[in-house]
Structure 1
Amino acid sequence: MTRITAAWTAREDLAAMLAALNADGDHCRYVGGAVRDARLGIEATDIDIATRLPPEEVIARLEAADIRAVPTGLAHGTVTAVLPMGPVEITTLRRDVATDGRHAEVAFTDDWREDAARRDFTINALFADPATLEVTDYFGGLADLDSRLVRFIGDAGERILEDHLRILRYFRFHARFGGQADPQALAACTTHADRLKALSRERIARELLLLLGSADPLPAARLIADCGIWQVILPEMAPDGLAQLATLLAREARVAARPEPMLRLAALLPADPQLADTVAARLRLSKAQRLAIGRFATPWPAEGTARQIAAQVQPVESVSPWLLLRAPDPSLEAGWRALQGWTAPEFPLGGRDILAMGIHAGPAVAKTLGEIRRRWIAEDFPQIDRLREIAGEVARSAD
């Protein structure tokens, strides 16, 4: 019998919660990603629990134990327990009654195997007993983990018809856990690729960014191309988009940069800010994401050091990733090092200083101030004495 070992299983707050839920029997098991990751020795970020208790009973037992219960998804049986060491989602065992590729109508059950059977991949359908930490594996998920195989439970095509987003989820999980791709999964993803058009843009964007945020998304990205899926979810992709992504990943490795999903998305696109904005709008990205991808799609300036360029860009934090994608190769490492931990100095002059120099109020003030700042940046932010000299030179030339 396989058992999991993980630090989170020793959490006192988790034990107290389980004691409340299991007061009169064995009603709960750990499930899904936390069990999978524990088996692989990966630290879990989320802990999910499956239970035979109906959601109303879960809430009642938690509140009786002075544990805050949030009904995050009662229609689907999910209650979130707010614990001192982090929230835990508790979901009543379910079976699908009806699916349309986007939504599922569920009914509650007390059958562990029935609940496991409605999950997407074998590696995500693992349960673990909280008392013994023994793993229950109905569909060969442990063997698939050992083989680095991401495999649908049952017929891949049928599972995709239940939820079209499983196409992108397959490639995301393959990027993280897979080795050799499953031929049946690839065939089903290819056959049903057009069904992704029926999904909301937000759901597609979320899965796409999660995939691109994996340690090495390139093999999965190439499989997506082989299956004809990029033309469905990202028709604006550049002809050399995969090559650009490969180059970016190599550059990230050279400077030990952390994965930046928005940057990797921009690598798939042409260097065209207007096109990038169109993509961001279609995928309904946030304002911050939209600004970021627009910056990343802009060609790197032909002149100026990394710091000089960064001083002209807001937010400054967007310049390091932009440099990774667009800067000329010879200046990569030096530019990256120059920006790490650096804060652009504050320009010490303002409009009143310009007026005091005899420049008349109006557009000339902003123009003069801009030219002084431009020269200050070009000289690598000299101290105030030199800045005053620059200001005088600019003011005299404006007369």
Structure 2
Amino acid sequence: MVVLPEAGWRTRAGMAALIAALGGPDDARFVGGAVRDSLLGLPVSDVDVATRLRPDDVMARLKAAGIKAVPTGLAHGTVTAVTDGGPVEVTTLRRDVSTDGRHATVAFSDDWQEDASRRDFTINALYADPVTGAVFDWFGGLADLDARRVRFIGDPLTRIAEDHLRILRFFRFHARFGAGAPDAAALAACTARANDLMALSRERIAAELLKLLAADDPVPDVRVMIEQGIFVPVLPEIVDAAPLAVLVAREAAAGVAGDPVRRLSALIAPDPALARDIAARLKLSNHVAKRLATAAARHDDRPDALAYRYGPESAVDLVLLGNGPEAEARKLDAWQRPQLPLGGGTLIARGLAPGPIVARTLGRIEDRWVEAGFPDGRVLEAIVTEELSRAR
């Protein structure tokens, strides 16, 4: 029998009270990522509990136990229990009634294996007794975890037909947990059904893609995805993993955490208009869209000048996507934006007539000040004097 190792999340504040309120191990078990990651010795942040209890019963029991219950997804059986140690998602066992690749209609169940059978990968279908830690495994997830193998439960084509996003999830999970070549049956199914991605919302595609690119080293899986035409239906512009490989190496050399937005920039041709188009297509935030466009312009300047003009985040992008020394990117962690020690009022006090000329002159002074390395004293005074002479 495989048993969960001791882990802080299992005994965190409020967990025992929650399990007791749900009826103990007969009616509640840990499931999914917390079980998988604990077995791998990885840190656990999110905890999920599966239960035989119906959602209304879960709500009533939590209320009776003095535990705040938030009905976050009652139609799909999910209630969030807000414990002293943090939120825990409690979901009633389910079976699929119908699916269309984007949404599922479910019915509640009291069969643990039936609930496990509707999950995507064997390593995500592991359940654990909340008291003894004994692990329940119906589909070979433990063996796959030991082999660092990501494998669909049952027929991969069936799993993908139920939820098309599982195509991208397969590569994300392989990038994080897999070793060696991807499972052949899974890869064949993802390749055959790649066009199904077109039916998904662009927000779901973007979220999953950015999670994939956040892996320690997504390059091998991105390379396979390009070779198999996985990106073609939704992001045909992604055609070469080589720039991503260079960036991942430079991030490591700089001691800078891998960043999914920066890595997406590496996969896009250096064209700001294209970057903005892709950002709009994926419905990314304005902040991310601006960052992609700035990175795509591949501005070349001193790192501190880049940070002043575009912000430290974009400056790190530009340094690592360009040819600057990797060490300069790490220095930007502690960079603080200098303040130009004069304003329009100073220029007017020195004889410049009020009007648009003040802003233009101040802009030229600022540009020269940045180019000179943010000097003060005599160097700055010389710049100001020269620009005032030009403006009069």
What's the TM-score bracket when you normalise by the shorter of the two chains? over 0.9
Q: Is the 8 A contact 2:255 2:330 kept in 1?
A: no
Instruction: Name which of structure 1's ranges 376-385 and 278-287 shifts more when overlaid on structure 2.
Output: 376-385
Where does structure 1 lack aligned partners over 5 or more consecutive residues?
Answer: none
Residue matched to 1:97: 97
> What's the TM-score once normalised by structure 1's chain length?
0.95
Q: Is the 8 A contact 2:312 2:335 kept in 1?
A: no
Note the C-alpha offset of 1:340: 2.8
Identity of aligned residues (%): 54
Residue matched to 1:249: 248
Which secondary structure does the structure 1 equivalent of 2:96 belong to? strand
Which secondary structure does the structure 2 equivalent of 1:230 belong to? coil
Give me the whole-angstrom Cα distance separating, in 1, the residues matched to 2:265 and 2:379. 40
Determine whether 1:383 maps to 2:373. no
Residue matched to 1:81: 81
Residue matched to 1:357: 350
Note the C-alpha offset of 1:248: 0.3
Which secondary structure does the structure 2 equivalent of 1:312 belong to? helix
Residue matched to 1:3: 3
Alignment of 1:171-320 (within 5 A): 171-179=171-179, 180-237=181-238, 239=239, 241-301=240-300, 304-313=301-310, 315-320=311-316
Q: Which amino acid aligns with 1:16?
A: A
Q: Is the 8 A contact 1:236 1:269 kept in 2?
A: yes
Structure 1 pair 257–316 and aligned structure 2 pair: CA distance change class (3 A) = closer
Give me the whole-angstrom Cα distance separating, in 2, the residues matched to 1:174 and 1:337. 29
Residue matched to 2:143: 143
Q: Is the 8 A contact 1:55 1:74 kept in 2?
A: yes
Determine whether 1:323 maps to 2:319. yes
> What's the TM-score once normalised by structure 2's chain length?
0.97
Instruction: Name which of structure 1's ranges 226-235 and 52-61 shifts more when overlaid on structure 2.
Output: 226-235
Q: CA RMSD in A?
A: 1.3
Q: Is the 8 A contact 2:254 2:327 kept in 1?
A: no
Give me the whole-angstrom Cα distance separating, in 2, the residues matched to 1:34 and 1:334. 36
**Deviation sequence 1:58-90 (CA, Å, 0-9, x none):** 111111111110000000000001112211000
Note the C-alpha offset of 1:389: 2.8
Q: Which amino acid aligns with 2:162?
A: E
Residue matched to 2:360: 367
Give me the whole-angstrom Cα distance separating, in 1, the residues matched to 2:302 and 2:249. 22
Note the C-alpha offset of 1:311: 1.5
Q: Is the 8 A contact 2:256 2:330 kept in 1?
A: no
Which secondary structure does the structure 2 equivalent of 1:373 belong to? helix
Note the C-alpha offset of 1:342: 1.1
Deviating runs (4+, > 6 A) in structure 1? Answer: none
Note the C-alpha offset of 1:42: 0.5
**Deviation sequence 1:258-293 (CA, Å, 0-9, x none):** 011011111100001110000000101111111111
Q: Which amino acid aligns with 1:82?
A: V
- How many residue pairs match? The answer is 390
Structure 1 pair 334–39 and aligned structure 2 pair: CA distance change class (3 A) = closer
Q: Is the 8 A contact 2:127 2:137 kept in 1?
A: yes
Q: Which amino acid aligns with 1:41?
A: G
Note the C-alpha offset of 1:347: 1.1
Note the C-alpha offset of 1:384: 4.0
Q: Is the 8 A contact 2:31 2:50 kept in 1?
A: yes
Q: Is the 8 A contact 1:52 1:109 kept in 2?
A: yes
Q: Which amino acid aligns with 1:88?
A: V
Residue matched to 1:38: 38
Q: Is the 8 A contact 2:251 2:326 kept in 1?
A: no
Give me the whole-angstrom Cα distance separating, in 2, the residues matched to 1:91 and 1:84. 19
Q: Is the 8 A contact 2:95 2:106 kept in 1?
A: yes
Note the C-alpha offset of 1:337: 4.2
Note the C-alpha offset of 1:321: 2.2
Q: Is the 8 A contact 1:305 1:335 kept in 2?
A: no
Note the C-alpha offset of 1:306: 1.1
Give me the whole-angstrom Cα distance separating, in 2, the residues matched to 1:199 and 1:275. 22
Alignment of 1:119-158 (within 5 A): 119-158=119-158
Structure 1 pair 337–265 and aligned structure 2 pair: CA distance change class (3 A) = closer
Note the C-alpha offset of 1:386: 3.3
Note the C-alpha offset of 1:360: 1.5
Q: Is the 8 A contact 1:307 1:338 kept in 2?
A: no
Q: Is the 8 A contact 2:197 2:234 kept in 1?
A: yes
Note the C-alpha offset of 1:299: 1.5
